[in-house]
Chains A and B, each alone.
Chain A
Amino acid sequence: DTEVTQTPKHLVMGMTNKKSLKCEQHMGHRAMYWYKQKAKKPPELMFVYSYEKLSINESVPSRFSPECPNSSLLNLHLHALQPEDSALYLCASSAGYNEQFFGPGTRLTVL
């Protein structure tokens, strides 16, 4: 099973809302990633978790808060977002520094 799942597929939220994105993998991977992708642009790395510890934070604003409750699950908590945060949010996982497998993404719209 080389599948990474993400929920929800679509999310619309207001600037005062709090919401969460969820990512799950059952490949035994110990590295998990959040990326942000704007239209017609390549993905940009946001966070990396390695063995459930945050190892990379690419200077992401604090209104994005990642969480890795266990080795299979990765969350991204959203609060007080801005319209410019509207994008496709992609989760990925890998076994060490190897091939990264991506989920289908969550399309986020901030009103």
Chain B
Amino acid sequence: KQEVTQIPAALSVPEGENLVLNCSFTDSAIYNLQWFRQDPGKGLTSLLLIQSSQREQTSGRLNASLDKSSGRSTLYIAASQPGDSATYLCAVSGWGTASKLTFGTGTRLQVTL
């Protein structure tokens, strides 16, 4: 059974810092990995999708990397802003059950002024 872990559970940084969020998964036979952000009481916003054959994806200040063999992904946020404050979730899908996402427990990020 796939298990997804995110460390740290919570993180507080001052504005302008670069930061890294971690996601690890136990079964390396993944189809893809998706990073989301969720504001309190809201739905999920898709940030980046990495296919299993890819090593990284970039969107603006965000860069996500994938090391499938070691079961790890990182989300790098450059020059953090208070508007980046949210919970960040990673989710993986597996071969044969590619429509089923298994989510990590999330990292709650607060960017302070």
Contacts and interface: CB of A to CB of B under 8 A. Distances in A.
Contact of B99 (A43, A44, A55, A107): A55
Contacts of B42: 104-105
A42 B49 contact: no
Interface stretch (A11-19, A59-67, A75-83, A95-103): A95-103
B46 A99 contact: yes
B43 A90 contact: yes
A43 B90 CA distance: 11
Interface residues on B, range: 20 to 34
A92 to B, nearest CB: 8
Interface in B67-96: 89, 91, 93
B99 A97 contact: yes
A74 interface: no
Of A45, A55, A56, A100, most buried by chain B (CB within 10 Å of CB) is A100
Contacts of A41: 105
Nearest to A31: B99
A94 interface: yes
A67 B81 CA distance: 41
Nearest to A88: B41
Contact of A99 (B43, B49, B89, B106): B49
B65 interface: no
A97 B104 contact: no
A100 B46 contact: yes
Contact of A98 (B41, B49, B104): B49
Nearest to B93: A97
A56 B41 contact: no
Contacts of B104: 42
Of B31, B32, B103, most buried by chain A (CB within 10 Å of CB) is B103
Contacts of B101: 43, 45, 100
